[in-house]
Structure 1
């Protein structure tokens, strides 16, 4: 059974009554995954959704020529795989562990049984799925209408929201990500991302060393909007 306080922190469960949350605790599973472990593969039947208790997980698609397109990199407190809830569809992407991670899981069939008993739980999960659909539509629009610099800025902003740590210099991206991985997230080439990062650094929006630091979030957002 899960730690009650842990589930309460999850945005999809935080508004549930204690009674409903206790029911969710009863179907919660946890396990440790080693770096490089595949949690699920693109195309596999969707049987559960997951929560990163600690660690990092990469979500990506693979093209026919073997190239990866990274959709997101999730860290502590992030939910993934929830698009399969209620839909009985295959996973649309692959989930791979980037570092040794502690992962929580709830099986879809067990959750559906609870939802039939508890209307408030069903309502909260519908809100989660609507939110994910909205985010997906934004991603599609960004890829279609934003240029390389804007897409790089969007990717940095996304990473800052899931992996950012406030420091005296700005928001430090607490994640080990290569230029190629950042390019995959932005949907462009490594060379284009390198040029975009150099431009952002020249304009004093970011700083780069061992990690990337966003010095001026407001200016970064302006780059995205303009």
Structure 2
């Protein structure tokens, strides 16, 4: 099962079975209860993590002590991969947003493996370069979209973390929202008040229905609206 999970991760998707078997032998799994701290910003970067079950909140703390949510990673996602091939500390905090099961790979073990298999290192560099390119495109996308559109993009991204792609053929999708309005606003670079107004507009347009700790996305209307390219 672990091998199949790794095969579906962007980081290892292009590796052959022999390379995957070697990676699997180095993986360690651990369960975290909701709100458990996984890594802290500034700690020595020792591991890269993969979400097997659950979801994780990635945050940074401002000099004034305010927490800013950067993103949410869900099942099948990778985090802390930015420290690969570097001696850098973790650049952000990671906290279990729900009860979660994570797999981790020690950077030192991976580097030892790469020293014996140069093709593995080359493939990982290619994948990480593509990830950086995709991230730059996402930043550019957010820059050209207004707050209304960024709010919808955020909801869709969160829904994908909860399995939207497997239900994309359905007319609707119910998104569990474990974050506060302030945390959601931080992710798209706006205020809580503005986010609340944008959710109201999306609701008025019939694109969403807002419940208690959940938002129902009307996928049919969202696709018809063609707000996001």
Shorter-chain TM band = 0.7 to 0.9
Contact 1:83 1:132 in 2 (8 A): no
CA distance in 1, matches of 2:63, 2:142: 20
Deviation at 1:43, TM superposition (A): 1.8
Describe the superposition over 1:54-91 as per-residue Cα deviations: whole angstroms up to 9, x where unpaired: 11100011111222221111111111110100022121
**Partner residue of 2:203?**
201
**Partner residue of 2:181?**
179
Contact 1:68 1:184 in 2 (8 A): no
Describe the superposition over 1:154-195 as per-residue Cα deviations: whole angstroms up to 9, x where unpaired: 212221222244385413224423222211211211111110
Segments of 5+ residues of structure 1 without an aligned counterpart are none
Contact 1:169 1:213 in 2 (8 A): no
Report the secondary structure of 1:45's partner residue: coil
Report the secondary structure of 1:150's partner residue: helix
Alignment of 1:81-120 (within 5 A): 81-120=80-119
Report the secondary structure of 2:223's partner residue: helix
Q: TM-score, normalised by structure 1?
A: 0.88
**C-alpha distance 10-145 of structure 1, shift in aligned 2 (>3 A):** closer
After TM superposition, the structure 1 stretch with the greater mean CA deviation from structure 2, 71-80 or 115-124, is: 115-124
Aligned residues, how many? 223
Report the secondary structure of 1:115's partner residue: helix
CA distance in 2, matches of 1:141, 1:67: 26
Segments of 5+ residues of structure 2 without an aligned counterpart are none
Contact 2:11 2:128 in 1 (8 A): no
Is 2:228 aligned against 1:212? no
Which runs of at least 4 in structure 1 moved beyond 4 Å after TM superposition? 142-145
Coordinate RMSD, CA, aligned: 2.2
Deviation at 1:50, TM superposition (A): 0.2
Is 2:14 aligned against 1:10? no
CA distance in 2, matches of 1:66, 1:140: 25
Q: TM-score, normalised by structure 2?
A: 0.87
Deviation at 1:150, TM superposition (A): 2.6
